[in-house]
């Protein structure tokens, strides 16, 4: 063993086998094992120093708590270390390349964060009197303006809190429009391509629609003839992603939109991949009636851990009047929110209802607008161009080592299948786990469903050429290893992470959500 890694840096790790022993502490170098906070409980320890309460007479009688409250006692340094260690276990876009396809894990500019924390923005409250939040409402109105401008659509709802929530919002507006036309009962089917993200059929099904799958062509796009054959007077809408989840532009999109409208149905576009075309294509020009925009994908707001997000929905002229309350209007008295049905009536709209208690996620609005303004129109166009360039660089560099199911260039993400692993005994999952040993978060696996053992890579525009080159070289090395019978490197991977393979199915089906204190030790007789 040479003591040099493939990047030419000295290393003492000669291979997985030399570090296989268990350490006394369970720690692996500076990756520290972390107990649950409840296990750290150190009765009597406290992070604050409070005065003893003045003598008082208890009036609760026998209702007074006798035992401990059940919260862990820890000192300030213990609590700080606990959360710092946990945070260091989190892989994030700030730690390294995050190639998840369809998710658009791009850098979150720090300028956005600075703007979101400005006094007067960071400490706003949704119940403040309207005259004290004129600037915030103007900011929402400006964001709404640019979302409409960039998509070529006349209406927008800012309140939905994620892409999936936006889909629900868009489909509810479609249902409201059908109710207004007296056609809601008659139109019970929603067409969804096979390659769609799971949230599309889930949304349609949640609203009680029958989901009808449209097959894909060998090229990975919607089969236009099969699609037209499925249209009919019982179809409410099509839900189509463009560019689609194979990373391909649906070239027939205008024909699809025309056919949908001719059949009296609406065109919902899943706009999760808008980052590939922002500044270059306006979905409104393609005939889209409603589309959500994931601000955390296209406009660089943090994805969060399921925390507050924003998935605004843009609407065509036909659907705009049904967009949910509240929305911002600008009148002679300044900005205000149209909150109630009566308010909306006076404004000439017929919202289907509301999606959220308040107006949506202000912090995300500020970040997205900061991103738009700091990029400008030329910068936003370059975002799309560079995202597509980086993905094509990955596709072209890897298509002979991995296997690409579709001919030709891609949009913002490169799709591979598991053909290259045939006969190696290595599967997509093993390949992804071996990437973890190399210090990479795996790409999206087994999605979209239209190709076998899919590996979907979205490098995004914020990765440098050096970073993408090292990623490509790593995948080439892994592909070579898989093909040269180095099966163990994959089927046992990850070798170097604090935990190896977990039973993910059991974790999802029967999660342990409650900590139970260990039984007290019996005192010796
Ligand atoms: C991310 C994504 C969604 C869902 O968006 P969330 O913001 O995660 O709810 C829907 N469709 C596609 C194609 C996506 O990539």
DSSP letters spanning 222-256:
B-HHHHHHH--TTEEEEEEESS-TTS---TTHHHH
106 C-alpha to center of ligand 1: Å? 15
Q: Using a 6 Å cutoff on CB, does residue 199 contact ligand 1? A: yes
Best probe residue, ligand 1, of 100, 103, 104, 164 (max atoms within 8 Å of C-beta): 164
Q: Which residues partner with 237 through β-bridges? A: 190, 266
Angle at CA 477, nearest 5°, toward 493 and 93?
65
d(CA 269, CA 241): 6
Per-position pLDDT tens, the chain of length 525: 456 777 777 765 444 444 567 889 888 888 888 999 999 999 889 888 889 889 988 899 889 888 888 899 999 999 999 999 998 888 999 999 999 999 999 999 999 999 999 999 999 999 999 999 999 999 999 999 999 999 999 999 999 999 999 999 999 999 999 999 999 999 999 999 999 999 999 999 999 999 999 999 999 999 999 999 999 999 999 999 999 999 999 999 999 999 999 999 999 999 999 999 999 999 999 999 999 999 999 999 999 754 578 999 999 999 999 999 999 999 999 999 999 999 999 999 999 999 999 999 999 999 999 999 999 999 999 999 999 999 999 999 999 999 999 999 999 999 999 999 999 999 999 999 999 999 999 999 999 999 999 999 999 999 999 999 999 999 999 999 999 999 999 999 999 888 889 898 999 999 999 888 888 777 655
State which ligand 1 atom lies nearest to the alpha carbon of 294. 7
Residue with tokens 């409840």: 38
Domain locations in the chain as residue ranges: 111-369
State which ligand 1 atom lies nearest to the alpha carbon of 309. 7
State which ligand 1 atom lies nearest to the alpha carbon of 199. 10
Best probe residue, ligand 1, of 294, 300, 447 (max atoms within 8 Å of C-beta): 294
Nearest CA to ligand 1 atom 6: 163
State which ligand 1 atom lies nearest to the alpha carbon of 162. 7
513 C-alpha to center of ligand 1: Å? 26
Give the CA-trace dihedral at 468, 471, 476, 480, to 10 degrees.
Answer: 180
21 C-alpha to center of ligand 1: Å? 42
State which ligand 1 atom lies nearest to the alpha carbon of 241. 13
Q: What's the pLDDT score for residue 215? A: 95
197 C-alpha to center of ligand 1: Å? 7
Q: How many CB atoms lie within 10 A of CB 390?
A: 24
Residues 169 and 366 sit within 8 Å (Cβ to Cβ)? no
311 C-alpha to center of ligand 1: Å? 9
Best probe residue, ligand 1, of 98, 100, 102, 450 (max atoms within 8 Å of C-beta): 102
Q: Using a 6 Å cutoff on CB, does residue 163 contact ligand 1? A: yes
Topology of the domain covering 111-369: 3.40.640
Q: What's the pLDDT score for residue 179? A: 98
Q: What's the pLDDT score for residue 305? A: 53
| Residues with Cβ within 8 Å of residue 117, at least 6 apart in sequence | none
Quote the tokens at residue 212: 């009808």
Residues 271 and 289 sit within 8 Å (Cβ to Cβ)? no
Q: What is the DSSP letter of 37?
A: G
Best probe residue, ligand 1, of 199, 274, 303, 308 (max atoms within 8 Å of C-beta): 199
What's phi and psi for 55, nearest 5 deg? -55, 140
d(CA 58, CA 62): 10
Q: What's the pLDDT score for residue 1? A: 45
Q: What's the pLDDT score for residue 524? A: 59
Q: Using a 6 Å cutoff on CB, does residue 203 contact ligand 1? A: no
163 C-alpha to center of ligand 1: Å? 5
484 C-alpha to center of ligand 1: Å? 37
Q: Using a 6 Å cutoff on CB, does residue 197 contact ligand 1? A: yes
Query: What crossing angle do the helices spanning 428-437 and 465-483 adopt, rounded to 10°?
Result: 130
d(CA 497, CA 487): 18
Q: What's the pLDDT score for residue 20? A: 63
Q: Using a 6 Å cutoff on CB, does residue 272 contact ligand 1? A: yes
d(CA 196, CA 13): 43
Q: Using a 6 Å cutoff on CB, does residue 453 contact ligand 1? A: no
242 C-alpha to center of ligand 1: Å? 12
Nearest CA to ligand 1 atom 2: 272
Nearest CA to ligand 1 atom 8: 163
319 C-alpha to center of ligand 1: Å? 22
Q: Using a 6 Å cutoff on CB, does residue 458 contact ligand 1? A: no
Give the CA-trace dihedral at 473, 479, 483, 484, to 10 degrees.
Answer: 40
373 C-alpha to center of ligand 1: Å? 24
d(CA 10, CA 504): 36
d(CA 31, CA 351): 53
259 C-alpha to center of ligand 1: Å? 26
Q: Using a 6 Å cutoff on CB, does residue 164 contact ligand 1? A: yes
Q: Using a 6 Å cutoff on CB, does residue 195 contact ligand 1? A: no
Q: What's the pLDDT score for residue 11? A: 67
């Amino acid at each position: 063993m040479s003591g040099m890694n493939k990047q030419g840096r000295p290393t003492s790790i000669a291979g997985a086998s030399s570090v296989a022993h268990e350490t006394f502490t369970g720690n692996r170098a500076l990756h520290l094992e972390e107990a649950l906070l409840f296990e750290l409980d150190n009765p009597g320890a406290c992070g604050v120093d409070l005065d003893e309460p003045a003598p008082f007479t208890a009036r609760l009688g026998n209702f007074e708590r006798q035992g401990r409250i059940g919260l862990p006692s820890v000192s300030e340094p213990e609590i700080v270390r606990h959360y710092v260690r946990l945070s260091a276990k989190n892989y994030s876009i700030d730690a390294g390349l995050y190639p998840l396809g369809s998710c658009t894990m791009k850098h979150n500019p720090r300028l956005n964060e600075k703007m979101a924390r400005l006094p007067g923005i960071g400490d706003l409250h949704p119940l403040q009197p309207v005259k004290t939040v004129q600037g915030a409402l103007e900011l929402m109105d400006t964001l709404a303006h640019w979302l409409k401008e960039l998509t070529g659509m006349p209406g927008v709802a800012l309140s939905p809190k994620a892409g999936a929530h936006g889909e629900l919002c868009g489909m509810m507006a479609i249902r409201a429009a059908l109710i207004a036309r007296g056609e809601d009962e008659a139109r019970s089917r929603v067409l969804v391509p096979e390659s769609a993200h799971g949230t599309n059929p889930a949304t349609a099904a949640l609203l009680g629609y029958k989901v009808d799958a449209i097959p894909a062509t060998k090229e990975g796009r919607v089969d236009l003839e099969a699609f037209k054959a499925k249209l009919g007077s019982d179809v409410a809408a099509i839900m189509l992603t463009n560019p689609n989840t194979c990373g391909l532009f649906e070239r027939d999109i205008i024909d699809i939109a025309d056919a949908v409208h001719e059949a009296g149905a609406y065109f919902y576009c899943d706009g999760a991949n808008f980052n590939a075309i922002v500044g270059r294509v306006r979905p409104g020009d393609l005939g889209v009636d409603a589309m959500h925009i994931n601000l955390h994908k296209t406009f660089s707001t943090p994805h969060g851990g399921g925390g507050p997000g924003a998935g605004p929905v843009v609407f065509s002229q036909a659907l705009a009047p049904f967009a949910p309350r509240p929305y911002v209007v600008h009148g002679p008295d300044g900005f205000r929110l149209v909150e109630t049905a009566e308010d909306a009536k006076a404004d000439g709209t017929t919202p289907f209802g509301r999606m959220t208690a308040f107006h949506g996620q202000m912090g995300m609005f500020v970040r997205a607008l900061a991103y738009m303004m700091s990029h400008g129109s030329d910068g936003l166009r370059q975002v799309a161009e560079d995202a597509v360039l980086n993905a094509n660089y990955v596709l072209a560099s890897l298509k002979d080592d991995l296997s690409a199911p579709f001919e030709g260039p891609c949009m913002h993400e490169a799709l591979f299948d598991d053909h290259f692993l045939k006969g190696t005994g290595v599967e997509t999952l093993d390949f992804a786990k071996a990437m973890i040993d190399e210090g990479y978060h795996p790409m999206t696996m087994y999605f979209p469903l239209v190709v076998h053992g899919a590996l979907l890579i979205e490098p995004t525009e914020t990765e440098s050429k050096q970073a993408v080159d090292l990623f490509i070289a790593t995948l080439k090395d892994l592909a070579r290893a898989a093909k040269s019978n180095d099966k163990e490197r994959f089927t046992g991977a990850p070798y170097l992470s604090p935990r190896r393979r977990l039973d993910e199915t059991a974790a999802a089906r029967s999660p342990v959500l409650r900590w139970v204190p260990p039984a007290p030790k019996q005192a010796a007789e």
